Amino acid sequence: MTLLHRIGTRLRRPQGVPWRSAGLRTESLSADESVRSTGWVFDNKTGEVSLESFTAGGDNEVRRYLKLFGFTDDSTRTLSMVEIGSGIGRMTAGFSKRFAMVYAADVDAAFLERCRETVFHHGTPPALRTVHVADGRSLDVATGSVDFAFSYITLQHCGTDDALSLVSEALRVTKTGGQVALNFRTWTMLDTALVPLGGLVRVLWRVPKAAKHMARIRALTRLGWQANRLSPDDVLASIGLDLIGTRLRDVTIVHSPRRRVRVSAEGVRRLAVRRVHPSHWWLVARLA
């Protein structure tokens, strides 16, 4: 990649820069060292953690979410799925033990390398394929090829257009009769400060020398990751309201009982589930 091209990419997609800096830090580390020393990329804990404890937590979430989305224990054995924003494989390892094929997709190639390592140690390697989301918005996965498209704590980290493009990609790659479960983050009081600060941090990140230092400061990196907040109305409008009840069936917004969500579209169910974080919501739907 030429210098001009690199600068162009930074300017067009500043929200991707903090992720690439974070990914670069994992390049010289093993997956286990990445978890122990950086807390990347999920729960931010360092010290008394290991790749094993990290993926054990991921396994629990995989089990709980699959149950929430209606998959019984053995029902996924012959199915394929795509995980959009796999990171270093915290949940991918668990998915690989339950699905016949898992496409782990991420914007950062170094994370995907660590993800392969994580699945090698704690999952089922033959079930894994990695997909580099080089442009941050499209999936190199065939149309109508997977039974389940899943994304957790990722779409909030993409620019709005990229997040909505990945939603449409999730629908494109899912088979007729398949299911999508996509996680989003909506506005909280704290976000009125967090989101503009995140924008400011991403501006500073464009200075190459500053980026190197900033990637070492976890609080700054986390701020830089905050790229959008989308409501169910935003996402459903971008999908196309005419698809609800026609191409998309059983459309459900899963949210926390501590949070009221507004859904203007007709034919959309709301489901309050205690363990959903108050600032998160899920779009769950079946492809007709």
Ligand X SMILES: C[S@@+](CC[C@H](N)C(=O)[O-])C[C@H]1O[C@@H](n2cnc3c(N)ncnc32)[C@H](O)[C@@H]1O
- Measured from the CB atom, is 41 or 248 closer to ligand X? 41
- Measured from the CB atom, is 120 or 265 closer to ligand X? 120
Query: 41 preceded by cis ω (within 30°)?
Result: yes
Using a 10 angstrom Cβ sphere, with 0-12 exposed, 13-18 middle and 19 or more buried, the burial of residue 47 is: exposed
Amino acid at site 116: R
Helices (H), 69-216: 92-98, 109-122, 160-173, 191-205, 208-214
Which pair of structure tokens corresponds to residue 53?
A: 């404890």
Length of the chain as a residue count = 288
- Measured from the CB atom, is 170 or 268 closer to ligand X? 170
- Measured from the CB atom, is 106 or 147 closer to ligand X? 106
Q: What is the CA radius of gyration of the chain?
A: 18
- Measured from the CB atom, is 135 or 250 closer to ligand X? 135
For the CB of residue 133, give the shortest distance to ligand X in the complex, in Å.
4
Q: Is residue 180 within a helix (H) or strand (E), and if so which, with residue range?
A: strand 174-185
- Measured from the CB atom, is 132 or 249 closer to ligand X? 132
- Measured from the CB atom, is 90 or 202 closer to ligand X? 90
For the CB of residue 267, give the shortest distance to ligand X in the complex, in Å.
29
3-class secondary structure, 248: strand
For the CB of residue 40, give the shortest distance to ligand X in the complex, in Å.
8
Query: What is d(CA 281, CA 276) in angstroms, rounded to the nearest whole number?
Result: 7
For the CB of residue 260, give the shortest distance to ligand X in the complex, in Å.
25
For the CB of residue 1, give the shortest distance to ligand X in the complex, in Å.
18
Residues that bind ligand X (CB under 6 A): 19, 41-42, 84-87, 90-91, 105-108, 111, 133, 136, 152-154, 157-158, 162
- Measured from the CB atom, is 160 or 265 closer to ligand X? 160
Pick from 186, 288, 172: nearest CA to 239: 172
Query: What is d(CA 168, CA 225) in angstroms, rounded to the nearest whole number?
Result: 22
Strand partners, 281: 184, 255
For the CB of residue 85, give the shortest distance to ligand X in the complex, in Å.
3
For the CB of residue 266, give the shortest distance to ligand X in the complex, in Å.
31
For residue 206, give Cα distances in angstroms to 26, 215, 252.
Answer: 20, 12, 39
For residue 75, give Cα distances in angstroms to 69, 79, 103, 110.
Answer: 12, 8, 18, 32
For the CB of residue 265, give the shortest distance to ligand X in the complex, in Å.
25
Alpha-carbon dihedral of residues 211, 214, 218, 222, nearest 10 degrees?
-60
